[in-house]
Amino acid sequence: MSASLENTTRKISMSKAVVSLENVEKDYGTGDAIVRVLRDVSIRVEEGELVGIIGASGSGKTTLLNILGCLDRPSRGHYFLGGKDVSGLSDNELSLMRNQTIGFVFQSFNLIPQLTVLENVETPGFYGKIPKRQRTERARDLLHLVGLSHRLNHYPPQLSGGEKQRVAIARSLMNDPAYILADEPTGNLDSKSGTDVMEIFFELNQQGKTIVLVTHNPEIAQTLQRVIELRDGKVLNDRIIETFRNTGAKKLDLLGRPQGA
């Protein structure tokens, strides 16, 4: 394991918000055809939390996900990411923020089929201008720690769904993001692969990673630390799951800032 991954003793301060939305609203359309999709949404996610977002179709969940991922901007209100108001950033600034601050995990994996597993994991580091040697070393370490050392030179079409999602998780950690944003990460997986993927999230959270996970699965929601439910573009409830116990047995030490970042 590289020194950049071994020297990781990040202390978690639960008083520090990684994500803070203040009175966020989002409209689509113009004039008389305006549709208000989000209505006065205020959410705060502290460093080290494992938070689920749930809601029926049409609840505003996808729109909220796009704003959290800096893929869209609120019409009104403020979005603070790591203490920085990103609501009014330019497209280039938002792109940089996404690369440096957010680790994405998608339901459909979004791996590049023409690149090897190793190259896929390296990709965020390339755009983050991490030197080749350091990003390759880190990618190897991350793949080892999600159990895919034997797949480094394989291509995504040669992998199972569970393996693809583990590659995606490793890729999300490449630039040591402030938090991981996972959109239905078990939605395309069988129950065994889904359980394996969730175990990785639990272990990462145990190591201090902040994770926001969107899910339609109530069983998964009940395993999380906190669940925010949307309905009709509003926060219907925001509750702590009293039975949450993060007791992942395996320690995944994935929190080091890559050298050269």
For 99-131, what is each residue's pLDDT tens digit?
Answer: 999 999 999 999 999 999 999 999 999 999 999
Give residue 246's pLDDT.
62
Per the CB < 8 A criterion, the answer to whether 67 and 74 are in contact is yes
Average pLDDT over the chain reads: 88
| d(C-alpha 164, C-alpha 160), whole Å | 6
Q: Going by C-beta distance under 8 Å and a sequence separation of 6 or more, which residues neighbour residue 240?
A: 225, 226
Domain that includes residue 55, residue range: 47-74+91-240
Residue 250 has pLDDT above 60, yes or no: no
CATH code at 232? 3.40.50.300
Tokens of residue 46, six digits: 């502290």
Domain count, the chain: 1
- Which of 4-13, 40-49, 89-98, 141-150 has the lowest average pLDDT? 4-13
Residue 255 has pLDDT above 70, yes or no: no
Flag whether 9 is in a domain: no
Give residue 74's pLDDT.
95
Flag whether 27 is in a domain: no
Flag whether 16 is in a domain: no
Flag whether 55 is in a domain: yes
Residue 42 has pLDDT above 90, yes or no: yes
Q: What is the pTM of this model?
A: 0.86
| d(C-alpha 248, C-alpha 201), whole Å | 9
Upper half-sphere CA count for residue 188 (Cβ side, 13 Å):
15
Per the CB < 8 A criterion, the answer to whether 180 and 211 are in contact is yes
One-letter amino acid at 10 equals R
Residue 11 has pLDDT above 70, yes or no: no
* Cα-to-chain-centroid distance, residue 131: 24
Flag whether 153 is in a domain: yes
Residue 92 has pLDDT above 80, yes or no: yes
Question: Which one, of 129, 109, 257, 113, lies nearest residue 171 by Cα?
Answer: 109
Upper half-sphere CA count for residue 246 (Cβ side, 13 Å):
22
Residue 7 has pLDDT above 80, yes or no: no
Q: What is the pLDDT of residues 167-199, one digit of tens each?
A: 999 999 999 999 999 999 999 999 999 999 999
Per-residue pLDDT band at 26 (split at 50, 70, 90): very high
Flag whether 132 is in a domain: yes
More confident residue, 233 or 257: 233
CB atoms within 10 A of CB 234: 14
Q: How many residues does the chain have?
A: 261
